[in-house]
Amino acid sequence: MAKKGLDDHGKGLGRREVLECMVWAGTGVLWTVSGGVPHSVGLIGEAAAAEPTGFTFLQMSDSHIGFDKAANPDALGTLREAVAKVKAMPMKPSFIIHTGDITHLSKPAEFDNADKVFGETGVQIHWVPGEHDIIDEDRGKAYLERYGKGSKGAGWYSFDDHGVHFIGLVNVVDLKGGGLGNFGAEQLAWLEADLKDKSNSTPIVVFAHIPLQVVYKEWGWGTEDGTRAFELLKRFGSVTVLNGHIHQLVQKVEGNMTFHTAMSTAFPQPAPGSAPSPGPMLVPADQLRTKLGLSKVTVVQGNKPLAFVDQTLA
């Protein structure tokens, strides 16, 4: 089942040697944590059967509320469709992790609209900001006022659920010219302290907007000091890293670490290097929903990996 995410469904995407896998499809990934190791269990429809023993959560990302250009004139509409899929799930997820770019321009009305639609899920949401969420006049104040309660610095925090330690990180502030995403010394020191008392057998789920690993440097798809975070995480038996930002599925397993980027609910972006820029990818209207989606993750207590199910809006 976990192989699902590694199948490109015959779309012939390039750069597999770098990315290992990439799928366009998806409304969501369903994650299951088995024995503390998250794994995806397939598309949401198929996942229902596999579900069950553990607890599940959803990953949603890159809603870009306010975006109205050709690649998707109605980003709020496609978010509504994604939320409808969540509401229709036979078993409610424990919570949703949103990996940033809630809005397109950090405008109050955009945050209001997003909150209203996400609120319809009736499920708690854990947020981290994307670079589009901190471009208000005060560079992030609007985001922190809404979502920053109980967080440190630019909005990082951790929490525990079902024996899994979840860590929300921020890698979109104070970026350096010519560089990639950035955590900064203060946040890394906090991370080190946060992990200090955790045993190696504690399953860890880390989520942030920009991929922690370098997916494609030329487009800034990676985090400058991501390796510093990996050094702090490498002693743990199960680490799952969830990101957004690149509006397409990329899943990679490296030792005890599983990397997963989610689809956007707003518009797709091109595969690395396949276009002149990483800007919104225009696809025929009847294909748009096959490239948007969300992810469901099931955590099964026992000795199995987490299960991911990526579901498109189609």
Partner 1 sequence: MQTLLSHIRPATARLTPGRAVVVAMLLGPIVGALLAFGSVAAEEANVVTIDNFTFTPPELTVAVGTTVKWVNHDDIPHTVVDKNKAFRSKALDTDDSYSFTFASAGTFDYFCGLHPHMVGKIIVK
Q: Give the residues lining the site for partner 1 (CB under 8 A).
A: 69-71, 104-106, 131-132, 135, 137, 175-180, 217-220, 276-280
The nearest distance, CB 172 to partner 1, in angstroms, is 8
Q: Please, which residue, 175 or 314, has the CB nearer to partner 1?
A: 175
Contacts of 99 (CB under 8 A, 6+ apart): 59, 60, 61, 62, 128, 130, 207, 208, 209, 242, 243, 244, 245, 262
Q: Phi then psi for 226, rounded to 5 degrees?
A: -60, -35
Task: Please check whether residue 129 is in contact with residue 170, taking contact to mean a CB–CB distance below 8 angstroms.
Answer: yes
Q: Please, which residue, 9 or 217, has the CB nearer to partner 1?
A: 217
φ/ψ region of 174 (left if φ > 0, alpha if ψ in -120 to 50, else beta) reads: left
The nearest distance, CB 219 to partner 1, in angstroms, is 7
Q: Please, which residue, 132 or 252, has the CB nearer to partner 1?
A: 132
Closest C-alpha among 143, 168, 165 to residue 59 = 168
Q: Report the amino acid identity of residue 42.
A: G
According to DSSP, the residues that pair with 6 across neighbouring strands are: none
The nearest distance, CB 223 to partner 1, in angstroms, is 12
N residues, the chain: 314
The nearest distance, CB 159 to partner 1, in angstroms, is 28
Q: Please, which residue, 119 or 279, has the CB nearer to partner 1?
A: 279
| Lookup: tokens for 5 | 């995410």
Q: Please, which residue, 3 or 69, has the CB nearer to partner 1?
A: 69
The nearest distance, CB 266 to partner 1, in angstroms, is 11
d(CA 269, CA 287) in angstroms, rounded, equals: 13
